[in-house]
Amino acid sequence: AGVTTMLANAAGPITAFYFLSQRFPKMVMVGTGAWFYLVINAAKLPFSWQLGLLTPSSLWLDLWLIPGVVLGFWIGSAFLKKIPQSLFEGILIVNIIISRYCLPNLLSLMPPFPSASTRPRQ
């Protein structure tokens, strides 16, 4: 999961599959995933900065997107409380299957990773 999350932020299906195999309740699964990715993404920040992936303009964009994140949190929380565990697991399995076929195509559309020679100097 570490390699896929650093290269493409694509570790969600891997962790979801693992959590399903452990038979976590839906609230535990979502909470554990949220904490897991908070820690992982925080650990990636210095590397992303060093690679030139974080810029002042990207940080401003992040600030502008915060209201959408908060809205998604509230909608997702309400939805999660209403659906039964079996439906949650079914939705997760369908998403894992879809990602298996879509992710390789999406990854091929990504621009090349900046190398040390093409990265702007600081």
pLDDT tens digits along 61-84: 999 999 999 999 999 999 999 999
pLDDT of residue 122: 56
Number of domains in the chain: 1
The rounded mean pLDDT for the chain is 84
pLDDT at 22 over 90: yes
pLDDT at 54 over 80: yes
Q: CA separation (Å) from 80 to 53, 85, 86?
A: 33, 9, 12
68-106 burial, b at 16+ Cβ within 10 Å, e below that, comes to eeeeeeeeeeeeeeeeeeeebbeebeeeeeebeeeeeee
pLDDT of residue 116: 53
Residue 47 domain boundaries: 2-108
Helices 12-21 and 85-108 pack at an angle, to 10 degrees, of 150
pLDDT of residue 71: 97
- Asked if residue 122 belongs to a domain, the reply is no
pLDDT of residue 65: 96
pLDDT of residue 8: 59
- Asked if residue 82 belongs to a domain, the reply is yes
Task: Tell me the whole-structure pTM to 2 decimals.
Answer: 0.69
- Asked if residue 121 belongs to a domain, the reply is no
- Asked if residue 75 belongs to a domain, the reply is yes
Max avg pLDDT among 13-17, 43-47, 75-79, 93-97: 75-79
- Asked if residue 27 belongs to a domain, the reply is yes
